Amino acid sequence: MHGTLVGILADTHDNRTRLQQAVALFNRRGVSLVVHAGDFISPFTALDFQRLACPMEMVFGNNDGERPGLLTAFRDRGTLLPGPRVFTAMGKKWLLMHEHGCLEQVAQAADVDIVVYGHTHEVDIRAGRPVIINPGEACGWLRGRATVALLDCTAMQIQLLDLDAA
């Protein structure tokens, strides 16, 4: 599993305590990549991601208003772009987006293996091709449950983790 494990999160919404928990969890599990589906909110959240032991793939969320500041803050962490965006990692073709409008149609048109989105703050994990993952909200503000996901890209197995129990 080592080398093909990806940490997935979304909707961190400035909750630095939860961010620190997520980063520590990803480092303990030895993830090779972290995928963030948007809504960081403030550039200062990059301070917590500096402790992350791997690169990131990211998109802006609808609440990420200070985009120039976020781009500057995250420039050394990985790629941060508007979504939806397609990239290749771990031998898989990914579609990363924040909002989920036309989710299935966009995924089919892009012919991807994995779709990651956020915005709803609700967990949505669907097996198949493509695998669809919304890890829920890492912040825990709206639903009262702070969650992230781990994806083993070799076995294509997804594990949802509650940050309070991890």
Task: Give the residue carrying structure tokens 């030895």.
Answer: 30
Q: Which residues pair with 85 in a beta bridge?
A: 96
Residue 139: give the domain boundaries. Answer: 5-162
Number of domains in the chain: 1
Assign residue 153 the CATH number of its domain.
3.60.21.10
pLDDT tens for the chain, 166 residues: list them: 457 999 999 999 999 999 999 999 999 999 999 999 999 999 999 999 999 999 999 999 999 999 999 999 999 999 999 999 999 999 999 999 999 887 778 777 778 999 999 999 999 999 988 999 999 999 999 999 999 999 999 999 999 999 998 7
Residues 6+ apart with CB under 8 A from 40: 12, 13, 14, 46, 58, 61, 64, 70, 74
Name which of 148, 152, 157 is nearest 123 in CA terms.
148
